[in-house]
A = this chain, B = another copy of it.
Amino acid sequence: MHWSDDAHEALRQSGKRAGAARSHVIAYLDGQTCCRGAQEIHADLVAAGRPVGLASVYRTLEMLEANGLVQRVDVGDGVVRFEPAHHDHHHHLVCDDCGKVEQFSDGELERAIEEVERRSGYALKAHDVLLRGSCAACRG
Contacts and interface: CB of A to CB of B under 8 A. Distances in A.
A18 interface: no
Contacts of A126: 131-133
Interface of A: 72, 74-76, 78, 80, 93, 95-96, 104, 106, 108-109, 111-113, 115-117, 120-136, 139
A86 to B, nearest CB: 18
Contacts of A104: 116, 120
A129 B128 contact: yes
A92 to B, nearest CB: 10
A124 B91 CA distance: 15
Contacts of A132: 124-128
